[in-house]
Amino acid sequence: MAKATYKFVALGNCIGNDCCGNLSPQPHYPSMPTYPKGTTVVVGGTEARAVFSVTGMTCAACAGSVEKAIKRLPGIREAVVDVLNNKAQILYYSSFVQEETIRETIEDAGFQAKVMKDECNETSPQVCRIRINGMTCTSCSSTVESALKVILGVQKAQVALATEEAEIQYDPYVVSYNQLLQVIEDTGFEPILLSTGEHISKIELKVDGIKNNESLRAIEKSLQTLPGIQNLNMYPELNKISIAYKPYMTGPRTFIEVIESTGSGCYRAMLYPDVGGKRNYQQDEIKKNFKLFIWSLVFTIPVFLTSMVLMYIPGIKHGLDVRVVNRLNIGQILRWELSTPVQFIIGRRFYIGCYKALRNRSANMDVLIALGTNSAYFYSVYVLVRAAVSKHFKGTDFFETSSMLISFILLGKYLEVLAKGKTCQAIAKLMDLAPETATLLSLDEEGNVVSEREIDSRLIQKNDVIKIIPGAKVASDGFVIWGQSHVNESMITGEARPVAKREGDLVIGGTLNQDGVLHVKVTLVGSESALSQIVRLVESAQMAKAPVQKFADRISKYFVPLVIILSFSTWLSWFLAGKFHEYPKSWVPSSMNKFELALQFGISVMVIACPCALGLATPTAVMVGTGIGASQGVLIKGGQALESAHKVNCIVFDKTGTLTVGVPVVVNTKLLKNMLLQDFYELVAATEVNSEHPIGKAIVEHAKKIKDRQDPAWPEACDFVSITGSGVKAVVRNKEVIVGNKSLMLDHNISISINAEEFLAEAEQMAQTVVLVSIDGELVGVLAISDPLKPTAPEVISILKSMKVKSIMVTGDNWGTANSIAKEAGIEAVIAEAKPQHKADKVKDLQASGYTVAMVGDGINDSPALVAADIGMAIGAGTDIAIEAADIVLMKSNLEDVITAIDLSRKTFSRIHQNYIWALGYNVLSIPIAAGALYPSTKFRLPPWIAGAAMAASSVTVVCSSLLLKNYQRPKRLNHLAISGIKIQ
């Protein structure tokens, strides 16, 4: 584990969780010292990982209470509790807290805990992203992917042709990313490292003042002493340093300070200009392809004119026909001179691609182009040589064929790169949300602002305090430490309603501050920020291959060799047919002989067949589809999710937080004994205030309203016990108070009166949850708690029915409440009182019945069902574990986005099928025409340069077909919901 040392400024509290990056100030803990406000505290220690087996958890509330208890400890960096596997994984600093303390804390929360030693020693796989320059078709991406997958330590590798990137999951203790880069380079392509891990950021600095290698070594040594440095790469010729680091441990301003303080202070460091960004790379690719096309036109147009236009103008024709030696004329020499730069300089990229492919024992589009153009060029050279040495030889050169072929292919590549750039606009728009600059504040010991300065937003570090003025974007994730305002979070969540923010509230980087000034303490930067995680999710989605793409990959594997065989067979068939006089002499154009006619047919077949269109059919549509989904608040995790979603014909809904609002409120209270309502709620709230269950929180919030105080002091509760799935009990003011369900009362031999039974039955019919309260063994009151149905739920269920999608509700709540909610929503099939595993079993039963099942949920207890379903849809406001387990994340937490996700996937796959019709239909129809199938009856033939233009056009057509998805509109009935004001808040 890495050694870490940090500096923090105390806020008049114990440093507690502030040192670990939690999002709100924490109360004082006895084990931690307190510091005067403004004191600089140095925190050092080894980061450790522990995994505990936790028994007794049954629902999300249990996991939440364990997680919160752990996070209250000092030195905890991260805690994740998995109720499904009964595990808790904790990252902590060993100088502040020990494993035994964490275990005792879990047990104090009411659960049994045991350290799992074997799992503590497991290493987490790392994920790196690499841009790969030079790939031209599916054969290239398959070659790189195959080379990566055979490396020891690589667990998963995906190479996407459309994005020209690779995403590799690997064991860093077995293989390094430098080895991965070398393997890609060995396959003949240029790799550029984009990122090295899920929580690793990368930055490039320009350093002025470097004079020799000693200077570099001094700087490198100084930087390596910093905590959190993962990797350093020095580029002396560019005065550039590339640094990979953990953003929660260090940051770029620290690097600059260390560099400038090294030696005698003669170095100056700054951010390196962003010349390697994805958008800049795309712009460079567009400019490069356009430049090559223009240069090819400069030489090709004169070749075309001398061979097909000027030869019909009498005066000019006479000049071109002037013989230099024997039958070699000026026109042939001009065409040779002009076409040679096109063939070998401008067309150099095709030779390089061909060489790389053949070296890797594969064949790609470059092989076809190189063979086709070289056949035409070198046959033409043969014609020139024969004309120069013979007085009687008659032959036609095809220099215009090779040069025009290359020109049209370059035009196609330019248009293709231009169109592919537009498919990545979703990510570009997301990245544009982050502001370029931020206002950094310096505070004195009392927390007053001493100074402020504007810095590049890439220089923001964790625990910085930044100022957000009205109309400015929030520069980074954090929480408000001063000020009040409203923030428009629609760019992240899709919800347009401004959200009120005040001290202690979270803000998200990239959102828009509206009306007040905020001071924000930064908690997440770089790759850890919400915006970066959304971008990474969309990028990963665009990398992932849909199963339907395997069809194209299988075809592409054999496509080029088959085309070469067909091309040679075409040439041989026409040549032998001419040799043995199988067709009339009149079929041969006056400008060529039988061999040349056969050669043109062969070249046309070779260059018209296009594996690129097949390779681009799926990934371009997936890129546009996932991008459109992200812009509408629906994050689709790749092609697999898209393909499964379009087949969904049954949806299983969780109830709480999915069909319902998820915020329970007390709607009715019935006292069974003569006592003051305020005294009753004081005892109940004192008992429930220690509970993390949503129902307990609802009771405490209602009690505050009864007290008419925001933060009342409740009596002390002794001997507090949480009975999982039933309720809580404690001793308050020497009275034993039990708050829970009916079964809990019966377990404690507390009799339930007829009045209470009637109240319970009525509440359940109204979809309300009933909580009973006993004091000293006697039932004294009953509470009715309601979690109202989301306003759009009935209409969403109705639309799903019209889409022939069956809806089922599965919940852990009682049958009465479940039936009432289902009836109100319009759902006919209901399963109640279901444990987490029962939900997963129901999903499997539906799958066994032939349904393609989607599960929509928000809680940890939904995770088994989300994983078991063909498609898991997590409500965006749900837990991290549910979101991680899901295939689709509904960022706005709106039920209507379930319909958007299914409808978008159907439209996307319809577009993919159309793309395959274009690509396959094009090749099936064009190859026979190029081979001369229509020539005997119509004398119609495709010259090679026209065949090349058609080949280039096929790829452009497929990409443009995918781009039409950008016009996607949600079903009209969903727009009606928004217009009529039925909107989830």
Catalytic residues: 654
* Under 8 Å between Cβ of 381 and 401: no
Tell me which residue of 782, 723, 773, 770 sits closest to 745, measured CA to CA: 773
- Count of beta carbons in the 10 Å neighbourhood of residue 500: 10
- Count of beta carbons in the 10 Å neighbourhood of residue 237: 5
| DSSP conformational letter for 510 | T
**Helices marked H in 433-548:** 490-493, 530-543
Beta bridge partners of 45: 4
> Nearest 5°: CA angle at 204, between 202 and 205?
140
How far is the C-alpha of 769 from the C-alpha of 751, rounded, in Å?
A: 19
In the chain, the amino acid numbered 204 is E
In the chain, the amino acid numbered 20 is C
- Count of beta carbons in the 10 Å neighbourhood of residue 565: 10
416, with CB counted inside 10 A (0-12, 13-18, 19+), is buried
- Count of beta carbons in the 10 Å neighbourhood of residue 24: 15
Six-digit token pair at 271? 């951010």
In the chain, the amino acid numbered 756 is A
How far is the C-alpha of 517 from the C-alpha of 486, rounded, in Å?
A: 10
Six-digit token pair at 587? 């079929």
How far is the C-alpha of 757 from the C-alpha of 770, rounded, in Å?
A: 10
Helix or strand (DSSP H, E) at 550:
helix 549-579
**Helices marked H in 225-277:** 252-261
In the chain, the amino acid numbered 459 is L
Helix or strand (DSSP H, E) at 771:
strand 768-775
C-alpha dihedral, 101 to 104 to 108 to 111, nearest 10°: 130
- Count of beta carbons in the 10 Å neighbourhood of residue 3: 11
Six-digit token pair at 630? 């992200």
How far is the C-alpha of 864 from the C-alpha of 676, rounded, in Å?
A: 45
* Under 8 Å between Cβ of 895 and 858: no
Six-digit token pair at 978? 């928004």
How far is the C-alpha of 180 from the C-alpha of 185, rounded, in Å?
A: 9
Residue with tokens 């691609």: 353
- Count of beta carbons in the 10 Å neighbourhood of residue 437: 14
CA 75 distance to own-chain centroid: 31
How far is the C-alpha of 21 from the C-alpha of 462, rounded, in Å?
A: 8
Output helix, strand, coil percentages for the chain, rounded to the nearest 5.
50, 20, 30
* Sequence-ordered list of residues with C-beta below 8 angstroms from that of 771, at least 6 positions apart, any chain: 695, 699, 727, 739, 740, 741, 782, 783, 785
CA 900 distance to own-chain centroid: 18
- CA distances (Å), origin 850, targets 187, 839, 855: 44, 17, 15
Strands (E) across 492-584 are located at: 499-501, 506-507, 512-513, 518-524
- CA distances (Å), origin 352, targets 162, 188, 325, 367, 919: 20, 9, 36, 10, 26
Strand-pair category, 888-890 with 871-875:
parallel
Query: Any idea how long the chain is?
Result: 985
| Half-sphere exposure for 404 (CA within 13 Å, toward CB) | 23
